[in-house]
Amino acid sequence: VWMVVNSALLGLMIDVMTGMGGLNVIASTATGFLRHHVVNMVTGHSSGIDNSSPALNRLPEKNFRWYIVAMVVLHSTIYFLMESLSLHHILHTLLRIVVSDIAAVVFIYYFVKLFIEKILKQ
């Protein structure tokens, strides 16, 4: 429940700061709601209370990369499909999803590797 509430609040803050009409609230809330299923899919087993947060020190590198990719693809797919609300320009929407996913995954992965991993090793 807290993950969904925090996801909705994060989406709301992004929407307020960017002047959007609630698209990030919808995409972030759905991503937070489906996060548990993504973790189960990536790890191959159900995560309990003690291992509920995917992190570099808890997941093998390959699984962590797949977690980042799955969460970014899920969020951006919901976001861009809600933004277009039509299948009329589906190729343009798919192109936007793919390009933004590649850019976001690369940025997030290297951000985590550069900054977060150093904090975890200390």
Tens-place pLDDT, residues 33-90: 999 898 888 887 665 545 556 665 677 888 888 999 999 999 999 999 999 988 889 9
- In terms of Cβ atoms closer than 10 Å to its own Cβ (0-12, 13-18, 19+), residue 92 is exposed
Radius of gyration of the chain (CA): 15
Contacts of 56 (CB under 8 A, 6+ apart): 64, 112, 116, 117, 120
- The pTM is what? 0.83
Q: Cα angle vertex 82, ends 79, 30, to 5°?
A: 55
Tokens of 17: 């700061």
The DSSP code for 42 is H
